[in-house]
Structure 1
């Protein structure tokens, strides 16, 4: 009997000279094991450990003789498997110790002639053994096995069909192998109703490019049906598979996230990190799932011994704009205790993530005393990485004049712009942020600044479609209170690397004043004439969904920096959050809201 998966499959094989039971073969869960396919463990064939503790080239003739002595097909397959293990572990050399052995030719002939009587699982195991030993796909024995698999491909069990599929995805050296792969793909697509395991779903998602859109839709449906029956680990593996191929099948990932959030026992930190990576790859920052991950991960942070894993968690938290104080405190404490073991990239990830989500750890002074001395342009390698660190320190209010001067140096600016040509807009905006902070937020700064020509050609910060739509709606409503261009300046440049939706001037009661007569200060130029005494300048900042950390009403670090720069330029931030302003409300209601906001900001001016 041949044990397959979690059940038994009849697999009695009659050899030329007799009949022996095949050893058990299992299909463990997980695509990693499935990728290895059917692994034959010849328990009954292995010689006693005391007699043969280590393979030796002199053992090859004995093994081949034993495998072919009575013409038994089972013995031949077992011998082939053992031989392939010796070759793959470098215990023997195939070209030197095996290939020219007369008995090896007899072994191959025996397997070749018996292929028609061999079950598909054993055929696949033999094919893998031959491949590991380096036997060419053009040889007769390999082609015989391939032909038998091709004939049986519609009759094999679904797990074996997937193993055949996966093997041939990796081996496409001959026309016959390509044909087997095509037939396997078609067979899998016809039998989609037989998908019942997480490992099968995971495999199909990882190789979705082979299949039709219709078939993958069926896989999505099957996955949704199976989620309630899967374990936490299985749910996580399927979720990570979707993330690795960036398949954003919303109903599927929502179902997976829902059931993962309901699980009890926590997963290991590595698997939780993979979930975070998949969530950011899928742009799926589900608050309930993130809360579950934080609950499971935070208590395990002190036991982590790999700085790269800490760096991965920090990177994902920053990409997700995930401001979780409990987790961030645990990560910051771990880094502080293990700073000497951390590569510079991990330390940089900590600083950048704290800046992105605008979070200040409880003991940030102690943390930065051990972190910052280990960060430099030389330790990070890439010039843009050092710019990211200095920009993050500016956001956190921790940058000093020396650090700022190092990135505003003309040589550094030219180097980073040339090296990061594909990401030039983002690099330019960070340089403009740092330059503005040098002139407005760092007292006594006397280092280099960006040239006037560079400021005039500043790129505007990129905004999404929804953010643009919200901004235009707010401005349209605001025109009823402060009509442009006399009372409202729009389409402002961004010399500070900050997008300001508009600038207006009011008196101390919030009534608009003609800003056109006095000029704006946010365009990089001073006012045409001094405004009346007591006048208040306001900078309109319309905040969209992306300007807030995930699941909160806390602004991200770049938005907080924008407010600080506006205030330093003499403008009061007039904030309009997306969750307070509705584009579906009546114009009168929105106008009253904006009027109240203007008066609220003006009332805070002493």
Structure 2
């Protein structure tokens, strides 16, 4: 056993011996074998070792750490052996079995061609394709220099004509032949570089040289570092999505890279690697992604603000919402300087927080501070207004400090504000100010986005009225808008109390109503119909089209009954309570049953209200008004705000009809007690029908408060609204 023999043969020979024979043959291997048992091919790290490396064995065997099994195996070199092997530097191969605690230290054998040597000065000095191709004959026997020539050729080729000339040159074919015949002598970086360069130059995907390079990558992928395997995965995924021609080896290499990564998830050491994996989440299963997310929590502390924001965006794109990871990411983002992020990154981050439903208040406030500061708001340069301005020249009195702001970024931010129902007025004012300065460069899309958001958050900037009159309405062609957009704009103007009767009637035409689909647009169309009825507008033929479209949409879950000129069906209401005098009489829509699925908050409010408003004689709960607007409860009060029995309410002259509207978090703006646009419009409809609205926001009414506190709060609110 003093001879120099290849280590793989010895280990595979050990695998054939029973455990009891190993101590007598190799005493120093006793701790490892006694713990692990006979080796087999799956447990053996042979596939992770360079095939040309030799291991010198003596009668002493191998030096092992007694408490780590096969970890840190160092070949024991005979003192009488030559110094040729000890003069070469030792390298530590981190293989795919690193996750199992296996780590080998080997000595370089006779294969020194895989070492990356300095490039030939002639290659560095060559700046043309002709000069590079002329070096092929000189460097043909050195595959490493050939790979450098190929890489530089790829960097020079820019046009399709140059690419065709290179592929037709016989010297380039000699270069390919040289690489093809000596692939095993290249390092992994050179193999990957040659493969990508040849693909980029348009070499056939089934060419022998590309298949040989792919096969070499596939054979040695287990002993590549984790970042390198990740780079292979990214390249193969990008190629599979964009390349016109694909080979079976492409798919094999992609699957092997994905499988290798899943086995080595413990080697993830940076958030950048997590980000790369999230970009290709469709390649992995749910269990692996959960492991990656758990691993990401441990590496977020050292990431930059840009990397943290990109990870949140990647999670949103992947449809993932891991709460522990998101809390960690937002925590370190709040500690970092958000000024390092560009306006585009801030806009994408804001959109991602909406898509994953994770509106962290501290992070949102930090984003708002950046979007409402000097990065967006332009300021006036003192004395510049007196400088004469040539025709077509930008006003020099205004200096825009919003570097990076663009129309697309503005639309993204303003749209996300509306989707979040985030009533951040300083951000809206800042964006409107930017639009005011760049009004000549904007189109109607930006103004439409601003209008829809203002309606959603119930905020109408003071300077926007004149801007809409000069930049939106004159250029807006309603006939060119889709029916969906027409309904959206009409609803937005109605929520802001800026909709006229002509526009309301145009949006309620039967042809428009019949084309609207989806619960959201249907609900808005219903609100417009209710608004038209409160204004007593004639809507002949609309009801027949509207009812089938809305019969399955809340709050009209049961069949609808019609009273008035458009229908002869009698109302199902038998209550002696008269309808308010402002309620339209020509077309009244009533629900056959009250609202269902009320919240716990609504029940608590009604229970507290019942302590001073009798449920038996004065209070009606879960009511749907004749126009279909839902309320949690209604009752009558006299001029002293005292409840009036329903049976005698018609005899009381000075009375008020009170509608109790419980505003849960869905009816309010984000992190605010201000109701959003849809809630405000419903309250306005109730008031138009003659109701006195008693609104109860969920942030003011505590479910866990004492009963006396709840009653005092409701009694005080009732006296305030009744005056």
Which string of whole-angstrom CA distances, capped at 9 and with x for unpartnered residues, describes residues 514-539 of structure 1? 44787xxxxxxxxxxx5621221122
The structure 1 residue matched to 2:233, chosen from 165, 172, 187, is 165
Specify whether residues 467 and 15 from structure 1 end up closer, same or farther in structure 2 by C-alpha distance, changes over 3 A only: farther
Matched, 1:92 2:156: no
* Distance in 2 separating the partners of 1:231 and 1:512: 62
What SS does the aligned partner of 1:21 have? coil
Paired residues of 1:376 and 1:386 also in contact (CA < 8 A): no
The structure 2 residue matched to 1:284, chosen from 358, 362, 376, is 358
What SS does the aligned partner of 1:332 have? helix
The structure 2 residue matched to 1:241, chosen from 299, 314, 317, is 314
Normalising by the residue count of structure 1, what TM-score does the alignment of the two structures yield?
0.80
Normalising by the residue count of structure 2, what TM-score does the alignment of the two structures yield?
0.68
Matched, 1:70 2:139: yes
Report the counterpart of residue 437 of structure 1 in structure 2: 531
Report the counterpart of residue 297 of structure 1 in structure 2: 371
Specify whether residues 224 and 449 from structure 1 end up closer, same or farther in structure 2 by C-alpha distance, changes over 3 A only: farther
Paired residues of 2:346 and 2:367 also in contact (CA < 8 A): yes
Specify whether residues 331 and 19 from structure 1 end up closer, same or farther in structure 2 by C-alpha distance, changes over 3 A only: closer
Kindly report which structure 2 residues correspond to 1:100-139, keeping only aligned pairs within 5 A, or say none.
100-139=168-207
CA-CA distance at 1:356 after TM superposition: 0.9
* Distance in 1 separating the partners of 2:111 and 2:428: 59
Aligned pairs, number: 544
- In structure 1, runs of 5+ residues without a counterpart are 2-9, 24-42, 53-58, 519-529
CA-CA distance at 1:180 after TM superposition: 2.0
* Distance in 2 separating the partners of 1:21 and 1:371: 63
Which string of whole-angstrom CA distances, capped at 9 and with x for unpartnered residues, describes residues 84-126 of structure 1? 3455x325354x4233432222222211222212111221111
Report the counterpart of residue 227 of structure 1 in structure 2: 300
Report the counterpart of residue 323 of structure 2 in structure 1: 250
Report the counterpart of residue 397 of structure 1 in structure 2: 497
Paired residues of 1:13 and 1:119 also in contact (CA < 8 A): no
Paired residues of 1:405 and 1:448 also in contact (CA < 8 A): no
Report the counterpart of residue 476 of structure 2 in structure 1: 376
Specify whether residues 307 and 166 from structure 1 end up closer, same or farther in structure 2 by C-alpha distance, changes over 3 A only: same
* Distance in 2 separating the partners of 1:85 and 1:285: 45
* Distance in 1 separating the partners of 2:320 and 2:119: 41
Kindly report which structure 2 residues correspond to 1:418-457, keeping only aligned pairs within 5 A, or say none.
421=517, 423=518, 425-440=519-534, 450-451=542-543, 454=546, 457=550
Kindly report which structure 2 residues correspond to 1:542-581, keeping only aligned pairs within 5 A, or say none.
542-581=662-701
* Distance in 1 separating the partners of 2:263 and 2:193: 25
Report the counterpart of residue 490 of structure 1 in structure 2: 622
Specify whether residues 455 and 580 from structure 1 end up closer, same or farther in structure 2 by C-alpha distance, changes over 3 A only: farther
Specify whether residues 408 and 142 from structure 1 end up closer, same or farther in structure 2 by C-alpha distance, changes over 3 A only: same
* Distance in 2 separating the partners of 1:19 and 1:147: 21
**Which one is further off, 116-125 or 301-310?**
301-310
* Distance in 1 separating the partners of 2:331 and 2:614: 47
Report the counterpart of residue 324 of structure 1 in structure 2: 424
* Distance in 2 separating the partners of 1:292 and 1:20: 50
Paired residues of 1:356 and 1:558 also in contact (CA < 8 A): yes
Paired residues of 2:312 and 2:349 also in contact (CA < 8 A): yes
Report the counterpart of residue 26 of structure 1 in structure 2: none
The structure 2 residue matched to 1:499, chosen from 605, 630, 636, is 630
Report the counterpart of residue 514 of structure 2 in structure 1: 414
Matched, 1:45 2:92: no
Kindly report which structure 2 residues correspond to 1:1-16, keeping only aligned pairs within 5 A, or say none.
none
CA-CA distance at 1:216 after TM superposition: 2.2
Q: Whose helix fraction is larger, Structure 1's or Structure 2's?
A: 1
Specify whether residues 274 and 511 from structure 1 end up closer, same or farther in structure 2 by C-alpha distance, changes over 3 A only: same
**Structure showing greater relative contact order (alpha-carbon pairs closer than 8 Å, 6 or more residues apart):** 1
Paired residues of 2:132 and 2:149 also in contact (CA < 8 A): yes
Specify whether residues 374 and 127 from structure 1 end up closer, same or farther in structure 2 by C-alpha distance, changes over 3 A only: farther
* Distance in 1 separating the partners of 2:619 and 2:177: 93
* Distance in 1 separating the partners of 2:634 and 2:199: 70
Paired residues of 1:321 and 1:549 also in contact (CA < 8 A): yes
Specify whether residues 161 and 412 from structure 1 end up closer, same or farther in structure 2 by C-alpha distance, changes over 3 A only: same
Report the counterpart of residue 560 of structure 2 in structure 1: none
Paired residues of 1:544 and 1:577 also in contact (CA < 8 A): yes
Matched, 1:350 2:446: no
Which string of whole-angstrom CA distances, capped at 9 and with x for unpartnered residues, describes residues 222-269 of structure 1? 322222212211211112211222311112112211221222360221
Which string of whole-angstrom CA distances, capped at 9 and with x for unpartnered residues, describes residues 177-221 of structure 1? 222222222222232233223321211122223223333233223
* Distance in 1 separating the partners of 2:541 and 2:657: 26
Paired residues of 1:460 and 1:494 also in contact (CA < 8 A): no
CA-CA distance at 1:378 after TM superposition: 4.8
Specify whether residues 468 and 351 from structure 1 end up closer, same or farther in structure 2 by C-alpha distance, changes over 3 A only: same
CA-CA distance at 1:19 after TM superposition: 7.8
CA-CA distance at 1:385 after TM superposition: 1.9
Paired residues of 2:514 and 2:546 also in contact (CA < 8 A): no
Paired residues of 1:471 and 1:542 also in contact (CA < 8 A): yes
Specify whether residues 381 and 133 from structure 1 end up closer, same or farther in structure 2 by C-alpha distance, changes over 3 A only: farther
Root mean square deviation of aligned Cα: 3.5
Paired residues of 1:344 and 1:380 also in contact (CA < 8 A): no
Report the counterpart of residue 55 of structure 1 in structure 2: none
What SS does the aligned partner of 1:437 have? helix
* Distance in 2 separating the partners of 1:462 and 1:46: 77
* Distance in 2 separating the partners of 1:465 and 1:216: 40
Paired residues of 2:637 and 2:643 also in contact (CA < 8 A): yes
CA-CA distance at 1:584 after TM superposition: 4.4
Kindly report which structure 2 residues correspond to 1:179-198, keeping only aligned pairs within 5 A, or say none.
179-198=252-271
Matched, 1:541 2:661: yes
Paired residues of 2:144 and 2:190 also in contact (CA < 8 A): no
CA-CA distance at 1:545 after TM superposition: 0.9
Runs of 4+ in 1 over 6 A off after TM superposition: 10-13, 444-449, 462-467
Paired residues of 2:610 and 2:619 also in contact (CA < 8 A): no
CA-CA distance at 1:542 after TM superposition: 1.3
The structure 2 residue matched to 1:79, chosen from 132, 137, 149, is 149
* Distance in 1 separating the partners of 2:543 and 2:111: 81
Specify whether residues 77 and 513 from structure 1 end up closer, same or farther in structure 2 by C-alpha distance, changes over 3 A only: same
